[in-house]
């Protein structure tokens, strides 16, 4: 998680241990996070675990001691050749297992409060994010959620719905909690820039690719 420092370290480590336990319990029953087939949630977790469970010596030691299944699971995700997924392999929305709910609860317990506090700090132009997470203080520098593509993609956020001569400048766009770039409210009022469609910034989009509007 962005923001690791001496103050936030206890929160991050405790959350990592709980996440390992929740994933271990879930993967004892289901081969993947969303059922019997891999999905984007598995690949997202894999991207983090390759660093935490297999590269960085401190979390690797914790992983091997508390959830060796997770260490092995990253090997499974490394090569999924031969897997033939079907739509029936997904976990039903009407029958979400308690083990998956535990993972969702952990996200809401730590990640969501941090992201909301960061979004507030960015919107207010604050130089520090200060909040309480899981009963402990959380202090870090604010960070903007930026697109992974070059500034060329960012220019695509200038919607054609804005009045001529009053398109929103890149510098006046701010992220909401979902990572969508929207006009800053103060700029919107001052310049008459109309609110744009929410924009989904795909991490895999090349610099010249258009950004899809929802």
Is 155 found in the same domain as 64?
A: no
**Which pLDDT score, from 0 to 100, does residue 171 have?**
46
Q: Which of 13-17, 76-80, 171-175 has the lowest mean pLDDT?
A: 171-175
Does residue 39 sit within a domain? yes
Residues 132 and 49 in one domain: yes
Residue 15 sits in the same domain as residue 63: yes
Angle at 202 between CA 34 and CA 79, to 5 degrees: 45
Nearest to 206 by CA among 150, 146, 140, 165: 150
State which residues form the domain around 40. 9-83+96-140
Tell whether 67 and 172 lie within a shared domain: no
Give pairs for 80-84: CB < 8 Å, separation 24+: 80/38, 83/37, 83/38
Domain membership of residue 69 (yes or no) is: yes
Q: Same domain, yes or no, for 116 and 156?
A: no
How distant is the alpha carbon of residue 158 from its chain centre?
24
Give yes or no: residues 110 and 21 share one domain: yes
| Whether pTM exceeds 0.85 | no
Report the percentage of the chain scoring pLDDT > 90. 62
As a whole number, the mean pLDDT across the chain is: 78
């Amino acid at each position: 998680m962005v923001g690791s420092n001496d103050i936030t370290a206890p929160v991050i480590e405790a959350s990592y241990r709980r996440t390992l336990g929740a994933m271990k319990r879930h993967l004892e029953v289901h081969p993947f996070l969303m059922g019997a087939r891999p999905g984007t949630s598995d690949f997202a977790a894999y991207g983090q675990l390759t660093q935490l469970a297999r590269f960085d010596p401190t979390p690797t030691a914790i992983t091997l001691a508390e959830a060796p299944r997770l260490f092995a699971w990253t090997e499974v995700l490394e090569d999924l050749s031969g897997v033939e997924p079907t739509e029936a392999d997904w976990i039903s929305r009407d029958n979400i297992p308690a083990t998956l709910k535990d993972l969702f609860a952990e996200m809401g317990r730590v990640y969501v409060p941090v992201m909301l506090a960061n979004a507030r700090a960015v919107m207010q132009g604050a130089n520090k994010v200060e909040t309480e997470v899981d009963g402990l203080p959380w202090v870090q520098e604010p960070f903007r959620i930026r697109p992974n593509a070059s500034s060329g993609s960012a220019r695509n956020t200038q919607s054609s719905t804005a009045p001529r001569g009053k398109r929103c400048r890149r510098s006046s766009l701010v992220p909401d909690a979902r990572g969508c770039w929207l006009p800053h409210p103060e700029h919107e009022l001052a310049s008459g820039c109309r609110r744009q469609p929410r924009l989904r910034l795909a991490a895999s989009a090349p610099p010249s690719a258009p950004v899809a509007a929802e």
